[in-house]
Amino acid sequence: MLKEFDLAGVYLSPMLLYALIAAVPWALVREGLGRAGAYALIWHPPLFNTALYLVMLAGVAAVLHQ
C-alpha cells in the first residue's frame, strides 16, 4: 500500500501516481481502437474514452493498493 509521497516538500496522494500509470495503457488502447476503426461503432467516443480510463484507473488502483 502506497502512502503519500513527497515531491519537493509537497505531499501528494498516491492516486496521482495511479492516474499517471493508468494513462499509459489507456493511451495505447485508445490508439489501437482508433487504428482499428472501432470509434465508428461507438456512439459517444469522449464518453467511451472517459469510461475506459476510469476502468483502467480502477484496475491500477486495485492492483497497487493491495
Q: Residue 1 has what pLDDT?
A: 60
Q: Residue 51 has what pLDDT?
A: 98
Beta-strand ranges (E) seen in 1-66 are: 5-7, 10-12
Per-residue pLDDT of the chain (66 residues; tens, 9 = 90+): 668 888 898 998 889 999 999 999 999 999 999 999 999 999 999 999 999 999 999 999 999 877
Its pTM stands at 0.85
Q: Residue 49 has what pLDDT?
A: 98
**Domain parsing of the chain, residue ranges:** 5-64
Q: Residue 65 has what pLDDT?
A: 79
Contact 56, 25 (CB under 8 A): yes
Collect all residues with Cβ–Cβ distance below 8 Å to 3 and sequence separation of at least 6. Answer: 14
Give the dihedral sign, CA 38/39/44/45: positive
